[in-house]
Amino acid sequence: MNLKRYLPILQWAPKYGRSQAASDLVAAVIVTVMLIPQSLAYALLAGLPAQIGLYASILPLVIYAIFGTSRTLSVGPVAVASLMTAAALAPLAEAGSPEYVAGAVLLAIMSGLMLTMMGILRLGFLANFLSHPVISGFITASGIVIAASQLKHIFGVQASGQNLLTIGQSLILSIGDTNISTLAIGTGALVFLMFARKYLKPLLIRSGVGARSADIITRTAPILAVLITTLVAWQLRLDTQGVRLVGVVPSGLPELTLPSMDWGLWQQLAVSALLISVVGFVESVSVGQTLAAKRRQRIDPDQELIGLGTANLGAGLSGGMPVTGGFSRSVVNFDAGAETPAAGAYTAVGIALATLFLTPAIAYLPQATLAATIIVAVATLIDLPALGRTWRYSRTDFGAMLVTIFLTLAHSVEAGIIAGVALSIGLFLYRTSRPHSAVVGRVPGTEHFRNVLRYDVLLCPKVTFLRVDESLYFANARFLEETVMDLVISQPELKDLVLVCPAVNLVDASALESLEAINERLKDAGVCLHLSEVKGPVMDRLKNTELLSHLSGQVFLSTFEAWQTLTGSLVSLKKIA
C-alpha cells in the first residue's frame, strides 16, 4: 500500500494493456514532434547549448513515469523555469561557458533535492503561499521579459539584460547592427507561427478535419517552421551571411554528470533553486489537477513533489537543465489520448532517437526560428485581463499582483516572486492578527446575545460581554490583550468582563499566557474575568492550567447564565443610532 503511494507506477503498470499502449504511443509521437523544437528553444532561452534541452527531455520523463501521479503531465524544459535559470546563472558565468552549463546542472540537482525533500516531509502545503494573483502576475511579467529577451535573435543583434529596462536599453543601442537575412528568417517564422495559431485550426476544421485533430496539427507548426528554415539556411548557406545558427551539436546520448561540489556555488544558487522548484511545482500541480479532474482522476501533491524532484535529479545527473510540467505540452498529450505516464517514457525514447540521429541536421537551424517559437509560445502566458479582474475583485490582491509584475519587469524574476510572496504572507498575517470581536448585549425578552453596534440590546454598565469570533493563537493573542484593556479603561464602572467563546476552536500556549495575563491585569484593575460557551475540546485542555485555578471569575456554560448571575437591576436598553 505504502509502496504504491511512493511508486505510483505500481498503480497502473500491472494493468497496462495493448489498447492503452496504442493510445500512449500516438500521444508520444505528437508530443515528441512538439518537444524537439521546444527543448532546443528553451535551452537557448536559458543561455545553454541546444543539446542541454534535449538531455533534459529524456531521463526526467522516464523517472516521472515511475514516481509521478499525474497520468498526462508532460515534463521537460519550460519557458518560465528557463528564464529563471538564465537569471540565476547570468551573474556567475558567461552564457554557454562550461561553468554556466555546470551551474544549470547544479540548479537541476538542487531543485531535485529540494522538491524530493519537501515531498518526503509532506511540505506541499508551502506552495499554497504563492497566491493566485502573485503567480499570475509573475507569469505574465515573465512572459513579457522572455518575449523581449528573444527580440535580439529576431534582429540578429547582440544584446543582454535580465529585465525589461536593461534588455530594452541594450536592444536600442544595437538595433543599428540588424542582420537583414536573420530578420527575414525571424519575422517569417514569427508570421507563420502566428498565422498557424490563429487561422490554421479554423481552416483545417472547415476542410473537414475534426476539431481535436485540427488542434493537434496546429500544435506541430513549430516543427514545420524548424524544418523549413533549416532547409533554407542550409541551401542558401545563410551562416555566411551572418545568420546565427544553432551550430554543431554533439551527437549521442547524455552521459552521467556529477554536480559541482563547490559549496560556495551551492549557497549562491540555493534561493534560485528554491524559487525554480516552487514555481515549477505550483504550475505542474495546477495543470495536473485540471487534467486529472476531466477524467475523475486525482493527483497527490506531496507525491507530485517527489515525482518532479526525482525528475530534476535525473535531469541534473544526465547533464540537463531544470524541468517541470509544461502547460501546453500536457494539454496536447491529454488531447492526443495519452492514458498513462508511459506516454512520457515513449516520448523520452523519441527524443533519445532525435538526439542520436537528428543532431547533424540541427546544426543549420537558425536561432531566429527558435526565438520565434519562444515568442509565440509565451504570448499565451501573458494574461493582462487578469489585472482588471483582480482589481475589480480585491484591492489587496491587486496590490500584491502589481508589485510582483512591476519588480519582475523592472528588477528581476527573483525579486518579483519574493516580494509577491512576502507581501501576500504579510497581508495574510496582518489580517489574521486582528480577529473580529464584538461587544454583545442581550436581545430583550430572549436568551440571545447580539452585537451592540447592530441591534437594540440590553446592557449593564458593570458587566461587559465580549464575543471573539476566531480561534486564539499567538498571532492575535496580543490583539486580545489590547482589546480587553481598552474596554476596561474606557469603562471605569466595569466590575465583570465575560469572554464569550463559542467560535474559539483553539487556544494555543501563547493565547493561554495572554489570557492569564489578562486575568492578572483585570484583577489588578478590580475587574473579574469570566468565560462562557467554551467548547468541549478547548475546555478539556484548559482544565489543568493555572488560568482556571487562578481565574478571578467563573466559567459559565451559557452566556445567559452569566447574565443572570452577574447583572443586577442596573440593566438598560441601548438603541442603535
Does residue number 486 form part of the binding site for its own copies (CB under 8 A)? yes
Residue with Cβ nearer its own copies (33 or 515): 515
Distance of closest approach, residue 3 Cβ to its own copies, in angstroms: 21
Query: 68, 133, 288, 341: which one contacts its own copies (CB under 8 A)?
Result: 133
Cβ neighbours, 10 Å, residue 445: 7
Does residue number 432 form part of the binding site for its own copies (CB under 8 A)? yes
Does residue number 302 form part of the binding site for its own copies (CB under 8 A)? no
Residue with Cβ nearer its own copies (205 or 517): 517
Binding mask 493-512 toward its own copies (x if CB under 8 A, else -) reads ------------x--xxx-x
Which residues lie across from 21 on neighbouring strands?
Answer: none
Does residue number 561 form part of the binding site for its own copies (CB under 8 A)? no
Residue of 121, 116, 37 whose CA lies nearest to 314: 116
Residue 489: HSE in the Cβ half-sphere, 13 Å Cα cutoff: 7
Distance of closest approach, residue 451 Cβ to its own copies, in angstroms: 14
- Applying CB under 8 A, the site for its own copies has a residue count of 68
Query: 2, 128, 235, 569: which one contacts its own copies (CB under 8 A)?
Result: 128
Question: Could you tell me whether strands 463-468 and 528-532 are parallel, antiparallel, or unpaired per DSSP bridges?
Answer: unpaired
Does residue number 15 form part of the binding site for its own copies (CB under 8 A)? no
Element (H, E) at 416: helix 413-432
Does residue number 1 form part of the binding site for its own copies (CB under 8 A)? no
Distance of closest approach, residue 510 Cβ to its own copies, in angstroms: 4
| b/e sequence 263-296, b meaning 16+ C-beta within 10 Å | eebeebbeebbbbbbbbbbbbbbebbeebbeeee
Residue with Cβ nearer its own copies (364 or 479): 479
**What torsion do the CA atoms of 31, 32, 37, 43 make, to the nearest 10 degrees?**
100
Does residue number 453 form part of the binding site for its own copies (CB under 8 A)? no
Q: With contact defined as beta carbons under 8 Å apart, do 322 and 104 qualify?
A: yes
Distances (CA, A) of 451 to 109, 318, 438: 57, 65, 6
Residue 123 makes CB contacts below 8 A (sequence gap 6+) with 117, 302, 305
Which residues lie across from 528 on neighbouring strands?
Answer: 496
Interface segment toward its own copies; rule CB under 8 A; list 47-55, 95-103, 111-119, 515-523? 515-523
Residue 11 makes CB contacts below 8 A (sequence gap 6+) with 4
Q: Which residues ranging from 369 to 428 are in contact with its own copies (CB under 8 A)?
A: 389-390, 392-394, 396-398, 424-425, 428
Does residue number 296 form part of the binding site for its own copies (CB under 8 A)? yes
Query: 97, 178, 241, 290: which one contacts its own copies (CB under 8 A)?
Result: 290
Does residue number 429 form part of the binding site for its own copies (CB under 8 A)? yes
Query: 4, 212, 298, 574: which one contacts its own copies (CB under 8 A)?
Result: 298
Q: Which residues ranging from 541 to 560 are in contact with its own copies (CB under 8 A)?
A: 541, 544-546
Strands annotated E in 371-436: none
| b/e sequence 228-256, b meaning 16+ C-beta within 10 Å | ebbebbeeeebbeeebebbeebeeeebee
Task: Please provide the distance, in angstroms rounded to a whole number, between the alpha carbons at the two ends of the chain.
Answer: 64
**Which chain residues interact with its own copies by CB under 8 A?**
125-133, 285-286, 289-290, 292-294, 296-298, 301, 389-390, 392-394, 396-398, 424-425, 428-430, 432-434, 436, 473-479, 481-482, 485-486, 488-489, 492, 505, 508-510, 512-514, 517, 520-522, 524-525, 541, 544-546
